[in-house]
Every structure is written in structure tokens, then in C-alpha cells.
């Protein structure tokens, strides 16, 4: 129950913040504080005193200018402390995390009179591993290179890495560095960092001789001592998939704020997916006997080795032969594959693989299971050997344990894919999307074949692992509904309908501040080449009066074609995605505007959010066309098939709401403050000529409209 003392504490904190900062209170911000406080403050504790009973999720759609950070911090912190819970603020982007930790939370603590501590939580990979740094300095070559499962895990140590590692060791010794990658004084190359960091699989935990000084475990201890933890969606998802409470507090002991919450279902899909690269897997499997032979050369007897080496060799040979069979079986499929950004793809309709592939996947699962059982025995033997009386032996066991643990994890990852391909999805359940990707060209190196599986719905998984366990949670973003209808997001995220859903009024005067223009165009965007030609012709004239502008495309193909064919005089003003990092493009754009120069950013969907161009930096946003999802996306295509198979209309139920949200995100780049003004132009006649156009336009803010003008 939200008692009067808590209400007064929240209200007083907000009044004090406004007074000290000289702010005027916003109605939408006050409303967000009230709704959040009422929702999470009235959550009832279950009989165990940890989790909650009844509705405990508050979904709030709040547009730019609301001041969401202030609202959810001031509303949730006092309640979390009163309930004895940790407040976990999770975001989708690093930029927002850094803003929270470096600016927003210190500012709120200073001016709102709230006494709270906070920390930024990161995964193991962001911290230096002292054990691996020691090994890297002892020998630059490592078996972990040959055991890399995927090509992007491989690296080639060089002399510059040795210099870097020595510099790291000296900086640690002088107390000038805390082992956090993000606080190192210069950018660290991924290949160099990978060698001296670790993941939960290869980390030996308390068995490590460096455990007492481990930077990750020190940080994790602090996580459980602060009032507020700032993190990202990926770490939250990783934690709950490991059972919860591994890195972050247990869900039952936490109140979550998911800012940029519209990303959560998509990120969950990535975490619940599986894939395997056949040639790469065959490669690291083939190295196992030599690796084990080297290990027994150092340790003599360990587990069933060296006598059981023949069992490993037999299991490896069977698995390699099975993968060769799978490669031969899939090779003809390439003839039916379609070109995509990631290679040549073949998607199984409704995610149903052929009986031959399913049968062979079962064989591979059994072969990998046998190999996994053998490897797990080695892991157990190595774990027993760590911490022995002989310091020299202890170091050798400690060296080999993460290597064999990583080997076991690779086996389990492969097993997950084969298990997925072996079984049929239960009748009536949302299926997995399953597809094959062919990369590279025939020749000496050959074609790499990747098998992928991804759920088309994560609602049940999120409900089971997250929503059913959290004490309370708030999900917020500027784009969660379509004209106040939350059903699409609710179904994607697995949030029950009895929870609280609300859309807050915007602080912007949309009708006065911006114009939405859909010019009359003779060409339909579905006529791709003609539409691109017309966009090239129109853009210079549309943007001739604007110093700062943003043009958003739905495909690389069209954006690059426009860059190639547009008037060279206009092209001089363009900063295009793909030429520089996102942050550098925004930085250069602002510098140009500050110097009184014209600047225009060309970007894809990723530039529709996460960039802030207030005032003069963006007076005009142009959408080249309606951002409908790419029709050959394997997950989206399988989802559409499933909806159609149930008698639904995937275009009406999925594609239109999805496009509406993306349009709202794109249009949200224009007005960033209450004093901004400008124009939005959408070069897509379907908004006027097609029946669904009205539905899409009605889902946008109430800008002043000029439809069908020249």
C-alpha cells in the first residue's frame, strides 16, 4: 500500500527538484510520477515476502519532452527503499546508461534531497581478467585461438598487444586503472581485449587464484549494496536466462524500470535463438584430440585421460562425419536460396525442416551429447584439482579449466541447435523461424553454411523468466502503442492485459510546432527504381531552405543509389551512415551547423532513434517511404505465415502497426524541445492513395497536415 508518508516523500522530492533547478512542472511528468507510484506502490507482497501477487507491471508511453528519467527515478526510488528492494534501471543503449550514471542520477540526488546510492552494472566481458592477463604476458599464443567457435572470435596477437598488456599491468600496480575496459585511457582493439577478458563459462569463480582481487566480482559485490543499479536489457536477459540473481539482484528482490522498453522483445528473441556454423564447428571439433593430448602431457592423468583419449577421438570423428553429412545434405538447398544482406538465405516455411534434416539433426545431437558427457567429466576433474596443495599443479589446473569449460559450452551450444532442428514445434504454439545462410564462394575455402533458429514469439519465455518473478516493473518508451492501442506490444512482450497501460499527453504543441507534408507524387515506392530517381530529384528542392536536416531510408540499396545519383552540389552537404560511426556523424553535423554551414544526415532505421538533434540541428525530417518490414526477414516472414495459418491478416495485424511505430520514432527526431519547430516530409503516396494510409497517419502525433501538395 502506498502510504501517506511515501506519497509526501515523493511529492516533496519533486517540488524540491523543480525549485532548485528552476524548472516548471510538466503535467505529463506529474502524471507519470503519480501513475507509477500508484502502480508499483500498491503491489502486494506474496506469502514468502519476496515476489508479488496480482498485477505488478506498469506500461507507460511517454513522448520526448516528458522528462521520463526524473519521473521514474523520483517515483520508484522511495518505494523501492521502503519495500527493501533494489531499483534496476535498464536501457537499450549505452548512451542512455552513461547519461543516467554521469548526469541524471547525480543531478537528481543533489537537487531532489533523495539519499540513494547507485552503480553501473556490466557483464564480465567489460572487465579485465587478471588470470588471463597473466597468461597473455607469459605466452602470446593461446589454445583459445584454435578453439574459437566463430570466425569473429579469432585474433592474431602481435607485439602491440604485448606492450598494451604490460602497460595494463603497470597501471594496475600504480592504482591508476580499475580494470574496466570503458575507463582505460584509449580505445582497446577487440582482438586484444578478448584475450584478457572472460565470460561466465570460462570464469573459474572462487577457484581462481585472483578471485579476491577480481574486478568483476568486486563490482558485483557493490551491486548488492547499492539502492539503484543501472544496466542494459542484454545483461538483464542474460541474468534471467542463467536463473536470475547471478549478476544482478534476484527478480523477486527488485523493482525494474525498462527505459527504451520497445526494444525488449526483439532483444529477448536474440537471446533465445540458436545458430551454428558448420565449417567452423568442424574445424574446432577437429582440434580437440590434439588439445587433450597437450593437456595430458602437462597434467599426466586427469579424469579418464590419457587412457580414454580414444573415446574422445571416436566421438569427435563421429561428430565431424555427421557435420559432413549435414553439409552434403544442405548443399543443394543453396540453389533455392535468396540473396540477403547476410548472404544467400533459405527459409523453411512455417519453420518446418525436412524429415531428412530433422533425422540427421537427431544423430548429431546424440553424437554431441556423448562428447559433452565426456567433456563434462574432464571439467569436474579439473575443478576438483584446482585449489590443491601443490601450487604448481594448481596453476596448471587453473590454466586448463577455462579452456575445457569453453569447449563444453561450445558443445552445449551446438546441441541446442540440433535439438531445435530435431523436434517439431508443438501444435498450436508459435513456431521457431528456421533458416539456412550460405556465406562465401565456392573454391579452396568453400562455402560456410549457418543454421539458425529464432522464436517468432518470446511472450511465454519473458512471462515465465521475468514478469512472473519480478516484484514490480515499469516499461516506458515514446513508442509502445498504436494510437493508444497497446495490444501489439503487450502480445510481443508477454505482459498480461490486467496490468496497467497508459499513454501520457505530450508537452509539445504539435499542430503549432510542426507541419507534416505528404507531397503529390506520380510514382509508387513499389516501383523501386523510378521512386529512387524521383527522390534524387526532389530532395535538393525540398531541403533548400533548411540548414540542418535528416533523411531516413528503409534500405541500404536506395540510400546508396540516391547518394550516387543526387545533384553533386547537394551531395557535398550529406553525412551518410556507413562512412563514420553514428556518434561521429552527429558530432560533425552539429559542428557544421554551429559554423553556419548546411548539413544533412542520410541514415537508415537506426537513425530513427537514439540521436538528439534539437533546434537548428534538425528543422526537417524526410522519410523516403513507409518503413514496412523487409518481407524476406526470416523471423518476420515466419510470423506472417503463422498468423495467416490461423485465419489472421499479417499485414493488418503486424506490418501496419510495426510501420506505424517506426514512423512515430522517425518523426520523433524533429521536435526535441518545446521551442523546436520544423517540417516532416514523407515521400510515399500510399499514405494518401491506400486505405491503410489513414490508419498510419492517425497513429502519428497531430502535426498540421499538408497532404497531396506539390
Q: Which of 212, 229, 248 lies at the terminal end of a domain, its last residue?
A: 212
Taking residue 161's Cβ as centre, other Cβ atoms within 10 Å add up to 20
Q: What is the pLDDT of residue 150?
A: 37
234, 287: one domain: no
Question: Does position 50 have pLDDT exceeding 70, yes or no?
Answer: no
49, 162: one domain: no
pLDDT band of 352, cuts 50, 70, 90: very high
Q: What is the pLDDT of residue 152?
A: 41
290, 431: one domain: yes
517, 649: one domain: yes
User: Which residues pair with residue 450 across a beta bridge?
Assistant: 277, 437
282, 413: one domain: yes
Q: What is the pLDDT of residue 392?
A: 59
pLDDT band of 154, cuts 50, 70, 90: very low
Question: Does position 145 have pLDDT exceeding 70, yes or no?
Answer: no
What mean pLDDT do residues 22-41 have? Answer: 92
Report the number of distinct structural domains present in the chain.
Answer: 4
**CATH number for the domain including 680?**
3.40.50.300
d(CA 557, CA 454): 26
In angstroms, the Cα distances linking 310 to 288, 304, 313, 395 are 12, 10, 5, 27
Q: Is residue 636 a contact partner of residue 470, using CB atoms and an 8 Å limit?
A: no
pLDDT band of 147, cuts 50, 70, 90: very low
Q: What is the pLDDT of residue 52?
A: 64
Q: What is the pLDDT of residue 285?
A: 95
342, 247: one domain: no
pLDDT band of 190, cuts 50, 70, 90: confident
Question: Does position 510 have pLDDT exceeding 50, yes or no?
Answer: yes
Q: What is the pLDDT of residue 243?
A: 93
119, 141: one domain: no
Least confident of 259-263, 333-337, 416-420: 333-337
d(CA 55, CA 489): 17
pLDDT band of 65, cuts 50, 70, 90: confident
331, 394: one domain: yes
What mean pLDDT do residues 445-471 have? Answer: 93
3-class secondary structure, 514? strand
Question: Does position 604 have pLDDT exceeding 70, yes or no?
Answer: yes
User: Which residues pair with residue 707 across a beta bridge?
Assistant: 518
256, 343: one domain: no
The CB-side HSE value for 530 (13 A sphere, CA atoms) comes to: 8
Helix (H) or strand (E) holding 500, with range, is strand 500-503
In angstroms, the Cα distances linking 706 to 515, 534, 655, 674, 692 are 7, 20, 25, 22, 18
What mean pLDDT do residues 415-419 have? Answer: 97
d(CA 82, CA 461): 30
d(CA 1, CA 64): 31
The CB-side HSE value for 244 (13 A sphere, CA atoms) comes to: 16
What mean pLDDT do residues 509-532 have? Answer: 95
d(CA 399, CA 355): 43
pLDDT band of 121, cuts 50, 70, 90: very high
Q: Over the stretch 624-638, which tens digit does the pLDDT of each residue have?
A: 999 998 877 899 999
Q: Over the stretch 612-624, which tens digit does the pLDDT of each residue have?
A: 999 999 999 999 9
Q: What is the pLDDT of residue 391?
A: 59
Q: Over the stretch 66-99, which tens digit does the pLDDT of each residue have?
A: 999 999 999 999 999 999 999 999 999 887 888 9
412, 539: one domain: no
295, 260: one domain: no
Q: Over the stretch 643-658, which tens digit does the pLDDT of each residue have?
A: 999 999 999 999 999 9
Helix (H) or strand (E) holding 94, with range, is helix 94-99
Q: What percent of the chain shows pLDDT beyond 90? A: 74
Cell (9 digits) for 291: 588439445
Least confident of 79-93, 120-134, 272-286, 513-527: 120-134
Strand order in the sheet with 57-61: 118-120, 228-232, 86-91, 254-258, 472-477, 57-61, 500-503
Which residues 6+ apart lie within 8 Å of 159 measured at CB?
A: none
Query: Mean pLDDT across the chain, nearest whole number?
Result: 91
Of 242 and 341, which is predicted with more confidence? 242
Can you give the pTM of this predicted structure? 0.89
Question: Does position 343 have pLDDT exceeding 90, yes or no?
Answer: no
pLDDT band of 387, cuts 50, 70, 90: low
What mean pLDDT do residues 390-417 have? Answer: 86
Of 351 and 98, which is predicted with more confidence? 351
d(CA 604, CA 579): 13
Beta strands in 624-707 (DSSP E): 678-682, 704-707
Least Cα distance to 684 among 534, 524, 576 occurs for 524
Cell 595494463, residue located: 168
60, 154: one domain: no
pLDDT band of 296, cuts 50, 70, 90: very high
3-class secondary structure, 485? strand
Q: What share of the chain is helix, strand, coil (3-state, %, to 5)?
A: 55, 15, 30
Beta strands in 280-388 (DSSP E): 338-340, 343-347
Cell (9 digits) for 661: 511505430
The DSSP code sequence of 50-74 is SSEES--EEEEE--TTS-HHHHHHH
Q: Which of 194, 212, 230 lies at the terminal end of a domain, its last residue?
A: 212
d(CA 704, CA 266): 33
Helix (H) or strand (E) holding 701, with range, is none
Question: Does position 156 have pLDDT exceeding 80, yes or no?
Answer: no
Range of the domain at 390: 275-455
Amino acid at each position: 500500500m502506498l502510504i501517506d508518508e511515501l506519497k509526501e516523500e515523493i511529492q516533496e522530492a519533486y517540488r524540491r527538484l523543480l525549485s532548485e533547478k528552476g524548472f516548471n512542472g510538466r503535467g505529463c511528468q506529474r502524471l507519470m510520477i503519480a501513475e507509477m507510484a500508484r502502480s508499483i506502490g500498491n503491489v502486494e507482497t506474496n506469502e514468502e515476502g519476496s515476489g508479488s501477487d496480482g498485477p505488478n507491471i506498469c506500461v507507460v508511453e511517454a513522448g520526448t519532452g516528458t522528462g521520463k528519467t526524473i519521473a521514474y527515478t523520483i517515483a520508484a526510488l522511495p518505494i523501492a527503499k521502503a519495500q527493501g528492494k533494489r531499483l534496476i534501471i535498464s536501457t537499450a543503449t549505452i548512451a542512455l546508461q552513461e547519461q543516467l550514471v554521469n548526469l541524471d542520477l547525480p543531478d537528481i540526488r543533489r537537487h531532489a534531497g533523495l539519499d540513494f546510492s547507485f552503480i553501473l552494472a556490466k557483464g564480465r566481458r567489460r572487465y579485465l581478467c587478471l588470470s588471463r592477463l597473466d597468461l597473455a604476458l607469459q605466452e602470446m599464443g593461446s589454445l583459445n585461438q584454435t578453439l574459437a567457435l566463430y570466425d569473429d572470435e579469432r585474433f592474431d596477437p602481435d607485439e602491440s598487444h604485448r606492450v598494451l598488456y604490460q602497460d595494463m599491468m603497470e597501471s594496475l600496480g600504480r592504482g591508476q586503472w580499475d580494470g574496466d575496459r570503458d575507463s582505460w585511457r584509449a580505445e582497446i582493439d577487440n582482438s586484444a581485449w578478448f584475450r584478457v577478458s572472460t565470460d561466465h563459462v570460462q570464469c573459474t569463480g572462487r577457484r581462481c587464484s585472483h578471485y579476491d582481487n577480481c574486478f568483476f566480482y568486486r563490482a558485483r559485490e557493490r551491486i548488492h549494496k547499492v539502492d539503484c543499479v543501472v544496466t542494459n536489457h542484454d545483461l538483464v536477459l542474460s541474468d534471467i536466462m542463467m536463473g536470475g540473481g547471478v549478476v544482478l539482484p534476484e527478480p523477486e528482490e527488485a523493482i525494474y524500470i525498462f527505459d527504451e522498453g520497445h526494444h525488449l522483445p526483439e532483444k529477448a528473441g536474440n537471446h533465445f535463438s540458436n545458430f551454428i556454423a558448420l565449417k567452423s564447428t568442424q574445424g574446432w571439433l577437429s582440434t580437440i584430440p590434439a588439445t587433450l593430448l597437450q593437456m595430458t602431457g602437462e597434467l599426466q592423468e586427469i579424469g579418464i585421460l590419457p587412457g580414454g583419449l580414444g573415446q574422445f577421438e571416436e566421438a569427435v570423428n563421429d561428430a565431424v562425419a555427421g557435420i559432413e553429412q549435414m553439409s552434403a545434405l544442405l548443399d543443394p538447398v543453396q540453389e533455392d536460396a535468396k540473396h540477403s544482406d547476410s548472404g544467400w538465405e533459405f527459409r523453411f516455411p512455417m519453420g518446418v525442416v525436412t524429415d531428412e534434416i530433422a533425422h540427421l539433426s537427431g544423430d548429431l545431437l546424440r553424437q554431441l551429447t556423448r562428447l559433452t558427457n565426456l567433456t563434462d567429466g574432464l571439467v569436474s576433474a579439473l575443478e576438483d584439482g584446482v585449489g590443491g596443495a601443490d601450487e604448481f599443479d594448481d596453476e596448471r589446473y587453473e590454466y586448463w579449466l577455462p579452456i575445457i569449460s569453453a569447449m563444453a559450452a561450445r558443445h552445449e551450444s551446438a546441441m541446442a541447435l540440433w535439438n531445435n532442428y530435431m523436434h517439431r514445434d508443438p501444435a498450436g504454439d508459435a513456431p521457431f523461424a528456421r533458416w539456412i545462410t550460405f556465406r562465401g564462394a565456392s573454391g579452396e575455402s568453400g562455402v560456410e553454411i549457418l543454421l539458425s533458429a529464432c522464436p517468432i514469439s518470446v511472450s511465454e519465455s519473458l512471462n515465465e523468466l521475468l514478469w512472473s518473478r519480478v516484484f514490480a516493473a515499469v516499461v516506458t518508451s515514446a513508442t509502445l502503442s498504436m494510437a493508444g492501442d497497446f495490444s501489439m506490444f503487450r502480445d510481443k512482450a508477454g505482459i498480461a492485459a490486467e496490468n496497467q497501460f497508459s499513454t501520457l499527453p505530450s508537452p509539445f504543441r504539435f499542430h503549432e510546432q510542426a507541419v507534416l507534408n505528404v507531397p503529390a507524387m506520380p510514382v509508387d515506392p513499389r516501383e523501386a527504381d523510378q521512386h529512387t530517381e524521383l527522390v534524387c530529384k526532389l530532395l535538393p528542392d525540398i531541403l533548400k531552405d533548411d540548414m540542418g536536416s535528416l533523411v531516413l531510408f528503409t534500405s541500404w540499396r536506395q540510400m546508396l543509389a540516391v547518394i550516387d545519383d543526387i545533384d553533386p552540389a547537394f551531395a557535398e552537404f550529406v553525412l551518410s551512415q556507413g562512412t563514420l560511426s553514428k556518434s561521429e556523424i552527429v558530432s560533425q553535423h552539429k559542428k557544421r551547423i554551429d559554423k553556419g554551414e548546411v548539413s544533412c544526415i542520410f541514415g537508415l532505421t537506426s537513425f530513427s532513434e537514439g540521436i538528439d538533434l534539437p533546434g537548428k540541428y534538425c528543422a526537417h525530417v524526410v522519410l523516403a517511404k513507409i518503413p514496412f518490414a523487409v518481407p524476406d526477414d526470416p523471423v518476420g516472414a515466419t510470423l506472417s505465415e503463422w498468423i495467416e495459418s490461423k485465419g489472421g491478416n499479417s499485414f493488418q495485424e503486424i506490418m501496419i502497426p510495426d510501420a506505424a511505430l517506426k514512423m512515430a520514432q522517425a518523426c520523433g527526431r524533429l521536435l526535441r524541445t518545446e521551442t523546436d519547430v520544423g517540417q516532416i516530409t514523407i515521400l510515399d503516396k500510399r499514405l494518401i492513395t491506400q486505405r491503410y494510409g489513414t490508419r498510419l497517419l492517425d497513429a502519428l502525433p497531430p502535426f498540421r497536415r499538408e497532404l497531396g501538395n506539390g
